[in-house]
Amino acid sequence: MKTQNTNKRIRLIMDLRRKGITDTNVLSAIERVPRDFFVPPQAKDQAWEDIALPIGLGQTISQPLVVAFMSQALELSDRDKVLEIGTGCGYQTAILSKLCRRVYTIERHKDLLKDAEKRFEELKLRNITAIAADGMKGWPTINGIDQAPFDKIIVTAAARKEPPQALKDQLKVGGIMIIPLGGPGEQNLMRYKKESEDTFAVKPLMQVRFVPLLPDVTDDKNDMAYSA
């Protein structure tokens, strides 16, 4: 089984290269983070295929191409402090943790967050701080400490027309935000580069499909939020 998984990883990395992922650090992170660790038992045989998979609560783990593309578009360095909106199962978070100094991640589903934190602990990912909160409000002040501004921000759920103002405010000048925008069936992944306190250079990157960006912390009994 170990040899089989190794072969599947190699095939996936080669596939991502063919599809335009050129950042060797991103490819290395995809290869090193065990995607099968983040999917339900019934989906493990598909974990290394370039497809999205269900993770429960109406959520999905994004296909590796989307994870790799978003990570590459952030232009990460090992000095960056990154804010992630939508922890989900924690797979994208784990990839980010291999590419930057620290990840601050917000999830509105408490059950998903609890499971993700267990995975981070088992994988010994020590540079991740995760909380259950309203991601549309950005990272909250905790014990009088503000973590903003962030070097990079990644959002793994789709806002309707533009990023929430709180996220724009928490991005440092010169920083990059990657976020899907649009309604169902018409979403585009967008790159926002903050040029001054109130101006952004905006660039569309690719068409995507994400669940909607929603406010508040859910009780996990009825609605849907993030995929990651």
User: Spelled out in words, what is the top-level CATH class assigned to the domain 51-208?
Assistant: alpha beta
Residues 17-26: contacts with CB within 8 Å, 24+ apart?
Answer: 19/50, 19/65, 20/69, 21/65, 21/68, 21/69, 21/72, 22/72, 23/68, 23/71, 23/72, 25/76, 25/98, 25/99, 26/68, 26/71, 26/72, 26/95, 26/99
**pLDDT of 55:** 86
Summarised one tens digit per residue, pLDDT across range 162-177 is 999 999 999 999 999 9
How far, in Å, CA of 39 to CA of 218, rounded?
Answer: 21
Can you give the pLDDT at residue 58? Answer: 75
Rg (CA), the chain: 16
Q: Is the pLDDT of residue 221 over 70?
A: no
DSSP letter at 37? G
Cis-peptide into 204, omega within 30 deg: no
Q: Name the 3-class secondary structure at 177.
A: strand
- Residue pair 226/52 in contact (Cβ under 8 Å)? The answer is no
Per DSSP bridges, beta strands 150-155 and 171-181 are parallel
Task: Give the domain ranges of the chain.
Answer: 51-208
User: What count of other Cβ atoms lies within 10 Å of the Cβ of residue 220?
Assistant: 16
pTM as predicted = 0.93
Q: Which tokens sit at 221?
A: 């009994």
Residue 219's pLDDT is: 65
Annotation marks residue 62 as catalytic: yes
Q: If 0-12 CB within 10 Å is exposed, 13-18 middle and 19+ buried, where does residue 184 land?
A: exposed
User: Which is more confident, 138 or 56?
Assistant: 138
Among 62, 71, 97, 227, the one annotated catalytic: 62
Give mean pLDDT, residues 100-120.
96
Q: pLDDT (tens digit, 9 = 90+) per residue, 130-146?
A: 999 999 999 999 999 99
Arithmetic mean of pLDDT over the chain: 92
